[in-house]
Amino acid sequence: MLMRILAVGDVCGKAGLDHLARALPALRRSRGIDFAVVNGENANVVGVTPAQCEELFKSGADVVTLGNHTWTRTEMRDYLARSTRVLRPANYAPQCPGQGVGVYETRFGPIRVINAMGRFTLDANTDNPFVVVDSIVAEEDIKITLVDFHAEATSEKLAMGYFLEGRASAVWGTHTHVQTSDCQVLEGGTGYITDLGMTGPSRSVLGIEIEQSIGKMLGDPPRRYNPAGGKCKMECALFELESETGRCVSAEALRVE
């Protein structure tokens, strides 16, 4: 039996939240999505609040993953300590609240979701993501394993994809907000894309006002990011899995405007 997994790229600001609320339920119905993982760490532009996580669930997310802005909103600490459906990177130090891996029961059997973060240019004092993810995958034999690798470098993301080839059902990258053209099924039966893209304003620089982003490149003094407005997109990837084996049989990048 085939299972359809949707992975949704970083939701950016209120515009991204509103667009997700419109686009995700419709896509779940039209494409028969069985399980959806949404990266929500930019829902507050920088970071996310507990209330915004609840909005993501109301819009159709089964699991919300985070990244390098996990701790921007201090109110997330207590929320992460009690939430089982919001994951922060597993390679944060063990004393940090929350969890980086979750196992969720579905009609297809258990699904394991892992959130990890890369180290190239992300100065977050994390453990080695390859070592951490390797130990998690080896802990328990679960057929369907999904990995959100929140990382800057395409090389680091590609390496993770090949590192988990044949051991994970799907591996996708988040953080850089630009959808890549390499959505594929690796030879070992793992679905893969280097970056899902983002959910938010189409005419923007990673969700931020164009003029502000250009000014930053020109050397303007730092200031709070202003989210862009206008027409939005939801960028994501759809992976079809064999529920009996966990192998991916098809992978498709999508953009819903």
Catalytic residue among 19, 69, 175, 177: 69
What b/e readout covers 8-19, taking b as 16+ CB neighbours within 10 angstroms? bbbbbbbbbbeb
Structure tokens at 215: 């000014």
Cβ contact 222:5 at 8 Å? no
- DSSP states of 225-243 as a string? PPBP-S-EEEEEEEEEEET
Instruction: Say whether 69 is catalytic.
Output: yes
Cβ contact 253:237 at 8 Å? yes
Structure tokens at 186: 């690796």
Q: How far apart are CA 59 and CA 74, in angstroms?
A: 24
Active-site residue numbers? Answer: 69
